[in-house]
Amino acid sequence: MSTKIYKMSFSKIYPLYVQKAERKGRTVEEVNEIIFWLTGYDEQTLKQHIDNESDMETFFAQAPQINPNVTKITGVICGCRVENIEDELMQQIRYLDKLIDELAKGKAMEKILRQ
């Protein structure tokens, strides 16, 4: 499994998440809400990581708290079952990908945020 994504800047990937959501009629606020739920970041700390061009490894390593309900995120993303990914960082990245996918597919926020 390629670990090149670990060194990619979150500030380069974030706009792609936003574009994917907006193409399907969702909002940047919903993308942010998902990121806040998953990582424990808030508006200010998210902006700092974007401004500092933190890489994905740093972004997840410095997350205040990965949501304890991440184990409820299941399914396939990029051909892998997220619940079976052994590398913790790759799994966290794929959790975020999966949640953004669900947003773009029109799922309700309560379902996306496993409430």
The answer to whether residue 30 scores a pLDDT higher than 70 is: yes
DSSP code per residue over 60-112? HHT-S---GGGGG--SEETTEEGGG--SHHHHHHHHHHHHHHHHHTT--HHHH
Whether residue 22 lies inside any domain: the answer is: yes
Q: The domain that contains 42 carries what CATH number? A: 1.10.8.290
Whether residue 48 lies inside any domain: the answer is: yes
* Number of structural domains in the chain: 1
Whether residue 115 lies inside any domain: the answer is: no
Whether residue 63 lies inside any domain: the answer is: yes
Whether residue 1 lies inside any domain: the answer is: no
Q: Sort strands 80-81 and 76-77 into parallel, antiparallel or unpaired.
A: antiparallel
pLDDT single digits (tens) 57-82: 999 999 999 999 999 999 998 888 99
Whether residue 2 lies inside any domain: the answer is: no
Statement: the pTM of the whole predicted model exceeds 0.85: yes
Whether residue 37 lies inside any domain: the answer is: yes
Range 13-24 average pLDDT = 97
Q: Which domain holds residue 97?
A: 7-109
Whether residue 114 lies inside any domain: the answer is: no
